[in-house]
A and B are shown apart, each in its own frame.
Chain A
Amino acid sequence: MATSTDETLRTDAGARRAAGPRLPDIPGPLETLGSAWRRLRKMSTALLLLFALAAASVVATVIPQAPVTPQSVAQWRAGTAGPGTTVASGLDALSLFDVFGSWWFAVLVGLLFTSLTGCLLPRYAAFARVARRPPAAGRNLERLSHAQTVITELAPEAALAAAERLLARRRFRRRRIGWQLAAERGHWREGGSLLFHTAFYLLLLGAVVGKAFGFTGQVTIPEGSSFAETRIAYDAAEPGRWWDLSDHRGFVVTLDDFDVSYFPNFTPRDFVSTVTIAEQGESVRTETVRVNHPLHHRGMNLYQSGFGMAPHIIVRAGDQVLLDERFMLSPASGQNVWTGTAKVKFDDPSQQIALDLALAPDAELREGQPVLGPDPAPRNPVLVGSLYFGELGLERPVPPSQFRRSGPPVDTAMLRPGKTAQLAQGSLSVEFVDLGYWSGLQVSHQPGRRILLAGALLLLVGLVPSLYSYRRRIWVEVAPHRTGSRVTLAGVALQRKTAFAEEFATLAQVLRRQLDAHPAASQEHPH
């Protein structure tokens, strides 16, 4: 291992320094490269890189990350939260809002993998040599740190065979060299460590493949509606660099039904989308998608990710239908209310119509005012529609909820399901047909999963022996001694030497017992 040579190098350097000051050599470019490589290969460098990785992840916990909490990042950038816009632009310059997607993080990972490669290549080579080499013969066994000599009545050949059986049972690799048996164990330590470190390449590969060829997108669909698995269907999408538009599968997903149930304490128990998938106009399967139970179809995975209330409303001006849809509302924070804004009419910029919608699933009407209850299940829903009219700026590319409100609504309606209300002296009618749900699905294609799983398995399989297996060498030497033989057992440990003392003692004890046990018969014979 590199560590022991490091040690000698270091002391050499120390000695030289002690001998007196030396002018530094001016290294050429190749030498610089060579020394950079040597430095990169050292475990202490790997260690420093690991710390840098750890530091990066601390930064990523302290500073909001755009891929995880885009709202907070937007607030930091706008200066409404965080340390202010100057700092925020500095953070942006260093990509600190997306640490794990930043160039410097990639450099860090690159360096770590270079270091890993530099560290592994010699280790592979050394391991290949060591693993093939048969156990080496031992000399001067009595002088090793662990040695014991015993006398037995067994003939040398029999004694050696007994020792060999014993070591075979303990899964030592053995070799006979004349009257000596050399044995060795624990190659799995280094082998496991190599396997473990190699697994990181698989993990990297899996992550890169997943990022490059994968796709993730979010859709929201109201009950009864469909979406086709194409790029334009998604509200938000993160295609990989090599994910092509033609890679979309094009199947059509219809949300037949959505169901949510609650515990008595009003936390959701389960939410389930029932979807039908159609290929080229033909239904091929109808299944449920639930949290923790994704649906897999042709390499695309559909996950249940969110849900909300979707009242079916029809807005009419006289006989003309201005709006007829299952409108998707979002939860209002902190209240048992769902809200949204419907753009009813916006072709003429000066005569636009918008409806602010609020739905309370559990509401009593008292003196015309809704009194909200805590039940999230829509057992007693009320829909409140507030009508706005005029130059609302609905044509602008901003979310509908940010239209210009220059005063209170023109009129307000309060509706139970199935009811219709007249607004603005009957010029407009709003019908609350019924209440349904919308479901948010995440759809993704993750081609790197298998590789990652294989890498993870390899990592674990390698890790265990690299931590728990220890290298030991044992020698048994026999020589004739009177009628029997003289047996020397010796051993050295390459790791966990403290524990080896005990192991060796046990081994010696067992061997002594075995050597006595067999010949006991011949001993008892009265010669």
Chain B
Amino acid sequence: MVNESLAQTSNTLFNVAFVGYIVAMVAYFFRLAFTQVTAGEGGASSAAGGRGSAKGEGGASSAAGGRGSDERAVAGTAVGRRVGHVGTVLASAAWLVHLGSVVARGMAAGRVPWANMYEYSSILALGAVIVGLLVVQRRFGYGHLVGFVLAAAVLSMTSGLLLFTEAGPVVPALNSYWIKIHVAAMMSASSIFIVGFVATALYLVKDTAERRTADRSGAAFAGSTVGAAHVQAPADARPEGYEADAGAPGESGGAGVAGTLVQREALSPVLFPLIPATVVAAFALVVWRAPGTAILAGSVAALLGTASWYAVPYLPPAARLDNLAYRTIAFAFPVLTFGVMAGAIWAEESWGRYWGWDPKETGSFFTWVLYAAYLHARSTHGWRGRRAGWIGGTAFVALMITYYAVNLWIVGLHSYAGV
């Protein structure tokens, strides 16, 4: 029934994609690092994504940037740019390989390739990477952020490897066309939420930095980009995505590169690696009870924390990150809603009740309510901005707990999907 050689091919392709993502991630972070060097020397903006400046050409605002500064940026960041391109090519290639792995897995098992947690984790990463490349990098022009998305994908694939199951058939309860609909919707929503979370987390970081720098430099920072709600008319006048990576330092109250580098000093270089490392390691310890894995994953998280601390000056302004987070979450929310509904219909087909407050159902209700709360908070006075950001972050944690912990630990009807 199971085609062994295809299953083997799928595993090999998975490993190739995994390594590919890691290398691409390093390339993206390298690009980030090189931004700093040139920006510090030349005062040019950054390794602007070609897309970002290309988008601005319609408006008068790009002309205002002037050719001079553009040229300096290019000259200063040649290496970072080249490595960044390599990263993009690598990530795209790895994505295709990864896609091949997923398809081969489905063909090997003779069913849709999303019936156990190894497969879900793989597809979550697949979805997050493509959203990162197409939406974050191409559409929004925030190429700098893709390294973080790749890191999330790598973490997801690592958890997949921990939960590896040989390709095999599914138990009768999973044998329904609703699995195609429900699980596909849940996975699409989740992978978009991953990107939304990356944006939310970076928004909170950037916002903190902007705030602290503003506090230090006094009230002159009134034109802060903090909180999308506070985006002022001048920022509105610019076509979206124009600043992209390039404009990031410039926009922060006109303080220029020197001003934005201060943002890094406003944040603690100790806490930034420490907090994510602790959280991720604790999660791995509690869920898998694997100290080795916890150390490994914790180190990756520490690296990410340091990277985000380091990247603060080059991140898009907080308002832009907030906007990216909102747009991705608002896009995924109806998909999640549909997925939960499809799940209820399926539960009714297979268990004779559409909703029974089974742990998985309770968990997805919880997640759904939190994301709804995020959307509400985003348009509620007194809640928008950071508070909304924290709700969005919590909602993602709820999503992960519902996804991992409930499957692995808590007994319920959904547990058969197990590992």
CA distance A263 to B175 in the complex (A): 13
8 Å CB contact of A502 from B168, B240, B338: B240
A118 within 8 A of B: no
**B337 pairs with A68, CB closer than 8 A:** no
B236 within 8 A of A: yes
8 Å CB contact of A145 from B1, B237, B376: B237
Once A270-B175, A505-B59 are accepted as A-B contacts, the answer to whether A50 and B383 lie under 8 Å apart by CB is: no
**A263 pairs with B334, CB closer than 8 A:** no
A122 within 8 A of B: no
Q: Is the interface of A mostly helix, strand, loop or mixed?
A: helix
**Chain A residue nearest in CB terms to B394:** A54
Q: Tell me, rounded to whole Å, the shortest Cβ–Cβ distance linking A95 to chain B.
A: 13
A69 within 8 A of B: yes
**B237 pairs with A501, CB closer than 8 A:** yes
Q: Give chain A residues whose Cβ lies under 8 Å from the Cβ of B59.
A: 501, 505
**B239 pairs with A43, CB closer than 8 A:** no
Of the candidate stretches A55-63, A276-284, A424-432, the one touching chain B is A55-63
**B169 pairs with A263, CB closer than 8 A:** yes
**B348 pairs with A50, CB closer than 8 A:** no
CA distance A293 to B363 in the complex (A): 26
Once A3-B379, A61-B410, A463-B333 are accepted as A-B contacts, the answer to whether A50 and B171 lie under 8 Å apart by CB is: no
| 0/1 interface trace, chain B 223-247, chain A, CB 8 Å (1 if under) | 0000000010101111110000000
Which of A68, A216, A509 is most buried by chain B, counting CB atoms within 10 A of its CB? A68
CA distance A464 to B335 in the complex (A): 10
A273 within 8 A of B: no
CA distance A459 to B178 in the complex (A): 20
CA distance A301 to B376 in the complex (A): 39
Q: Tell me, rounded to whole Å, the shortest Cβ–Cβ distance linking B405 to chain A.
A: 9
A100 within 8 A of B: yes
Q: Give chain A residues whose Cβ lies under 8 Å from the Cβ of B357.
A: 60, 65, 67-68, 99-100
A25 within 8 A of B: no
Q: Is the interface of B mostly helix, strand, loop or mixed?
A: helix
**A305 pairs with B373, CB closer than 8 A:** no
| 0/1 interface trace, chain A 49-85, chain B, CB 8 Å (1 if under) | 0110110011011000101110010000000000000
Q: Tell me, rounded to whole Å, the shortest Cβ–Cβ distance linking A41 to chain B.
A: 13
**Chain A residue nearest in CB terms to B402:** A61
Can you list 7 contacts pairing A with B, beta carbon distance less than 8 Å?
Answer: A10-B382, A54-B369, A61-B359, A291-B350, A292-B172, A467-B330, A497-B236
8 Å CB contact of A303 from B323, B351, B376: B351
Q: Give chain B residues whose Cβ lies under 8 Å from the Cβ of A53.
A: 369
Report the number of A-B residue pairs with Cβ-Cβ less than 8 Å.
157
Q: Tell me, rounded to whole Å, the shortest Cβ–Cβ distance linking B118 to chain A.
A: 16
B162 within 8 A of A: no
Q: Tell me, rounded to whole Å, the shortest Cβ–Cβ distance linking B150 to chain A.
A: 27
A121 within 8 A of B: no
A: number of interface residues (CB 8 Å):
66
A456 within 8 A of B: yes
Q: Tell me, rounded to whole Å, the shortest Cβ–Cβ distance linking B307 to chain A.
A: 27
8 Å CB contact of B363 from A10, A44, A50, A61: A61
8 Å CB contact of A58 from B169, B176, B344, B366: B366
Q: Give chain B residues whose Cβ lies under 8 Å from the Cβ of A349.
A: none
Q: Which 6 A-B pairs have the closest CB atoms?
A: A303-B352, A292-B176, A291-B172, A442-B352, A57-B366, A502-B239
| 0/1 interface trace, chain A 1-12, chain B, CB 8 Å (1 if under) | 101101100100
**A258-314 residues at the B interface, CB under 8 angstroms:** 263-265, 267-271, 290-294, 301, 303, 305
CA distance A270 to B375 in the complex (A): 42
A520 within 8 A of B: no
**A301 pairs with B352, CB closer than 8 A:** yes
CA distance A3 to B379 in the complex (A): 8
**B351 pairs with A51, CB closer than 8 A:** no
Q: Tell me, rounded to whole Å, the shortest Cβ–Cβ distance linking A464 to chain B.
A: 6
**B349 pairs with A294, CB closer than 8 A:** yes
With A43-B376, A57-B365, A100-B357 known, 4 other A-B pairs at CB within 8 A are: A50-B376, A54-B373, A460-B338, A498-B235
**A43 pairs with B380, CB closer than 8 A:** yes
Q: Give chain B residues whose Cβ lies under 8 Å from the Cβ of A69.
A: 411-412
CA distance A99 to B359 in the complex (A): 12
**A57 pairs with B362, CB closer than 8 A:** yes
B381 within 8 A of A: yes
Q: Which residues on A are within 8 Å of B, measured CB to CB?
A: 1, 3-4, 6-7, 10, 43-44, 46-47, 50-51, 53-54, 57-58, 60-61, 65, 67-69, 72, 99-100, 145, 207, 216, 263-265, 267-271, 290-294, 301, 303, 305, 442-444, 446, 449, 452-453, 456, 459-460, 463-464, 467-468, 497-502, 505, 509
Q: Tell me, rounded to whole Å, the shortest Cβ–Cβ distance linking A294 to chain B.
A: 7
**A268 pairs with B353, CB closer than 8 A:** no
Q: Give chain B residues whose Cβ lies under 8 Å from the Cβ of A72.
A: 411
Q: Tell me, rounded to whole Å, the shortest Cβ–Cβ distance linking B52 to chain A.
A: 14
**B334 pairs with A464, CB closer than 8 A:** yes
**B239 pairs with A449, CB closer than 8 A:** no
Q: Tell me, rounded to whole Å, the shortest Cβ–Cβ distance linking B13 to chain A.
A: 24
Once A264-B1, A292-B173 are accepted as A-B contacts, the answer to whether A501 and B354 lie under 8 Å apart by CB is: no
**Chain A residue nearest in CB terms to B358:** A68
**A452 pairs with B354, CB closer than 8 A:** yes
B83 within 8 A of A: no
CA distance A3 to B337 in the complex (A): 25
Q: Tell me, rounded to whole Å, the shortest Cβ–Cβ distance linking A146 to chain B.
A: 8
B58 within 8 A of A: yes
**Chain B residue nearest in CB terms to A497:** B236
**A145 pairs with B381, CB closer than 8 A:** no
8 Å CB contact of B373 from A51, A99, A303, A497: A51
Q: Give chain A residues whose Cβ lies under 8 Å from the Cβ of B233.
A: 145
**Chain A residue nearest in CB terms to B341:** A456
